[in-house]
Amino acid sequence: MDARYKSREIERRSLDVDGLKRSFLEWLVYSVGKDARAATRRDWFHTVALAVRDRLVDRWMDTTRTYYQQDAKRVYYLSLEFLIGRLLTNSLANLGITDQCRQALDRIGLNLDDVVEAEPDAALGNGGLGRLAACFLDSMASEALPGYGYGIRYEFGLFEQRFEHGWQVEYPEQWLQFGNPWEFPRPEVLYPVQFYGRVEEFRDSVGERAYRWVDAERVLAMAYDTPVVGYGGDTINTLRLWSARATRDFNFGHFNDGAYMKAVEQKVLTENLSRVLYPNDATEGGKELRLKQEYFFTSASLQDILRRYLQHHSNFDSLPDKAAIQLNDTHPAIGIAELMRLLVDQHGVLWDKAWDITRATFSYTNHTLLPEALEAWPVRMMERVLPRHMQIIYEINAKFLNRSKARAAGDNARLSRLSLIDERGDRRVRMGNLAFLGSHKVNGVSALHTELMKQTVFADFHAEFPERINNKTNGITPRRWLHQANQPLAALITSRIGNGWIKDLGQIKALAEKADDLVFREEFRRAKRKNKKRLAAYIARQTGVDVQVDSLFDVQVKRMHEYKRQLLNILQAIALYNEMRDNPTVSWVPVTKIFAGKAAPSYHMAKLIIKLINDVAKVVNHDPSVHDNLKIVLLPNYNVTAAEIIMPAADLSEQISTAGMEASGTGNMKLALNGALTIGTLDGANVEIREHVGDDNIFIFGLTAEEVNDLRASGGFNPREVIASNPSLKRALDMISTGVFSPDDPHRYHPILQALTDGGDHFLVTADFAEYCEAQQEAMDLYRDQEEWTRKAILNTANMGWFSSDRTIMEYATEIWDVHPVKPEHPAETEG
């Protein structure tokens, strides 16, 4: 090989400062095409990302090759969402070259932090479900598990949120506008995916009845691969996202008769399939494009999985030994019918055998019990869009109900609940039931949620298959959520216990014994203060509000939803505001209430609550009579990058959902790991957080899930009575209803007040209000004692080790997937 090329090749791998610097300068000129004097911050971001990418390609290929050569069992994580955020800091940290990169940029006169700021957020998800998928990718790679993520390469991620006159307004989010340096387009990895058409029956070669799907429309799924760097950079896995491409047929349209322009238009329409992420918080089961997205990425992924399997195998008998497919919620559940179709129709496998293989291969994670969020596609739509799948679903259902009938002994109500088809009203396919039936394991995401699954949505299925439901309490990656996001605390921890915790978060337990060490406490506080200063500056930039760094940072960041009860929080803020005004001579603990979160664009109540928070903030923040002791801010456009600034700076973590409604929560884990104390209900993973951090180090209040259930069942709750008997609640509501916060439109909040009174207060805001205020008071009192507060904060951090997504993913690996770590084999690095 030409010596020049060879040296360049070695350069591409070099991890020292000089090598990095030379790479940057070369990439800037030869790939970004800019002169150092003309380069913008974005040019430098692309330059650095491309140079960093060079440094992981070898090990990426080594990883893939090792899996292939060992024919290792792989796990395929199918998810309609991957809420990844930025990748530069993450790649640098996981490769262990952050310092070298900083120095190399320094020598060019650049600051790494500025370069990092030019990266857009990959916001291919709505909230917890999508972020969980991203944490799992990090953990699979860090645990050396052969894991692939499969999803959609949306051109537009989750909308950008702005506030206009306090109202949420949505703008398109264009993360790909300037190109994505992390992805590798694979124009040769292309699969056909069909829609519509009809099913034809015929006799196969041995005279058996068989079916083929004909006259269908075709779309192509094209792969884009993104390397997923594990901690230490040894294992580098793949996230494969599909993008819709029109088939080439349109090219052969007739130039002369006007069909050509029509054909081009058709191409654009076809490719709309992967254009945009649905921002729904609760799926409306009627959006055809959504169903098509689900089938599109699921079908392409399954075709890819089977292709990979067939490289080593000539029949499908051992598919379950070589592939585990995890369904992240029901969004890819159509994959169960699709695998049946591929096996039976395309590969001639007999039905019963295909069904055994399918069930042994799939497993399903449920993320919600909310009935409105359980997917159910109209049968008529499914028949039209996926006619063969509808047939297959009928067949699965018939066989299952036949078997159950024998045991149900005439209990028709039970049979109709077990059915894959909801026959009430317009007939619908229950995707949760399909996912359950087609999987060998079904899991919930916290202990409480899993128990409730057994008692509620899947009670009948649980009776039928008592071994199938299991729990996998969620986790978060300590790399992004502590090591990268909270550098002051990470450095402090490492200085005391070494850096083993980054890979094995259980080790953080060793901090517990430092909770009584005054010097350590002081340093812990100093780290927190640094983070709070950074957040204060961010708040000032984003909202123009100045907040006191030494005030109690009380944080509620998550999607806006009635069950998450941001309303409860803002009502308590109004009550506190009143108390402060009534008692101006008392020395109040200064409090900063920090909110952030997006509402689904069509969720009017959630949007009205956003407006209320902004309206209350405006009044409170400008009222001199509270002497800056209370500030309220609602940060716009909450996303992963904002979360990385907010989590490390919080003192108090608001986890106040109506008990029984939050499946798990993961923000609760990020905040506690970063040393915030939780104020929360016994809901989702809060229950387990309490068990780990200890009852003395968390503020628990409110009705339990069981009490909520009983209360609703008995109908014995009258919100008007509760309001009448609580003067501070009554006053807060009266202020809202008389237009104190909305003088321009005094009736603006009528729907909220209505929901709390005549509406029966479904989310039990009024029922939990008094106890919530007491818990808040307790938190404020404790905050006065900074030593005691810090002690508890340290114990929170120290006891959160179990909530690492590494622990979660290893539980999936051993208890559901039977997938084992595989160490990549690296050929000698110097080989030419």
Which of 151, 233, 478, 684: binder of ligand F58 (CB under 6 A)?
684
- Read off the tokens for 228: 């997923």
From 162-170, 179-187, 225-233, 656-664, span contacting ligand F58 (CB under 6 A): 656-664
Distance CA 19, CA 11 (A): 6
* Residue whose C-alpha is closest to residue 396's, from 342, 442, 355: 355
Binding-residue total with ligand F58 (CB under 6 A): 20
Q: Is 670 labeled as catalytic in the residue annotation?
A: yes
Q: Is 532 labeled as catalytic in the residue annotation?
A: no
Q: Is 367 labeled as catalytic in the residue annotation?
A: yes
Catalytic site residue from 89, 330, 666, 797:
666
Distance CA 763, CA 659 (A): 9
Name which of 355 and 802 has its Cβ closer to ligand F58.
802
SS3 annotation, 62-77: HHHHHHHHHCCCEEEE
Name which of 21 and 131 has its Cβ closer to ligand F58.
131
Q: Which residues of 345-379 are buried (b: 16+ CB within 10 A; e: fewer)?
A: beeebeeeebbebbbebbbbbbbbbeeebbbbbbb
CB of 283 to ligand F58, least distance (A): 5
Q: Where does 264-407 show beta strands of DSSP type E?
A: 323-328, 362-365, 376-378
Name which of 282 and 459 has its Cβ closer to ligand F58.
282
Which of 138, 160, 173, 281: binder of ligand F58 (CB under 6 A)?
281
DSSP 685-732: THHHHHHHH-GGGSEE-S--HHHHHHHHHHT---HHHHHHT-HHHHHH
Which of 98, 247, 266, 280: binder of ligand F58 (CB under 6 A)?
280
Residues 113-152 that bind ligand F58 (CB under 6 A): 126-129, 132
Q: Beta strands 552-557 and 591-596: pairing type?
A: parallel
Q: Is 558 labeled as catalytic in the residue annotation?
A: yes
| Residues making up the chain, counted from first to last | 832
Name which of 464 and 662 has its Cβ closer to ligand F58.
662
Site string for ligand F58, 615-654 (x = CB under 6 A): ----------------------------------------
Name which of 53 and 472 has its Cβ closer to ligand F58.
472
Q: Beta strands 184-195 and 167-171: pairing type?
A: unpaired
CB of 376 to ligand F58, least distance (A): 13
Residues 658-677 that bind ligand F58 (CB under 6 A): 662-666
From 3-11, 279-287, 334-342, 528-536, span contacting ligand F58 (CB under 6 A): 279-287
Name which of 368 and 799 has its Cβ closer to ligand F58.
368
Q: Are 665 and 127 in contact (CB under 8 A)?
A: no
Name which of 263 and 370 has its Cβ closer to ligand F58.
370
Position closest to ligand F58 via CB: 128
H/E element, 225: strand 217-229
DSSP 428-466: EEEHHHHHHHT-SEEEESSHHHHHHHHHTTTHHHHHH-T
Catalytic site residue from 558, 748, 791, 807:
558
Catalytic site residue from 388, 532, 565, 670:
670
Catalytic site residue from 73, 322, 331, 367:
367
H/E element, 167: strand 167-171
Name which of 283 and 742 has its Cβ closer to ligand F58.
283
Residues 357-376 that bind ligand F58 (CB under 6 A): 367-368, 373
* Residue whose C-alpha is closest to residue 449's, from 593, 606, 664, 635: 664
Q: Is 564 labeled as catalytic in the residue annotation?
A: yes
**Residue 72 zone, left/alpha/beta (φ > 0; ψ -120 to 50; rest):** beta
Q: Are 470 and 462 in contact (CB under 8 A)?
A: no
CB of 80 to ligand F58, least distance (A): 7
CB of 660 to ligand F58, least distance (A): 12
Residue listed under structure tokens 């008071």: 777
Show the DSSP H helices in 738-785 as ranges: 750-756, 765-784
471 makes contact with ligand F58 (CB under 6 A): no
Name which of 367 and 468 has its Cβ closer to ligand F58.
367
90 makes contact with ligand F58 (CB under 6 A): no
Residues 201-230 that bind ligand F58 (CB under 6 A): none
445 makes contact with ligand F58 (CB under 6 A): yes
CB of 708 to ligand F58, least distance (A): 16
Q: How far is the CA of 442 from the CAs of 37, 362, 438, in angstroms? A: 57, 9, 10
Distance CA 365, CA 435 (A): 9
CB of 404 to ligand F58, least distance (A): 29
Catalytic site residue from 73, 430, 449, 559:
559
Catalytic positions, written as ranges:
367, 558-559, 564, 666, 670
Give the residues lining the site for ligand F58 (CB under 6 A).
126-129, 132, 280-283, 367-368, 373, 445, 474, 662-666, 684
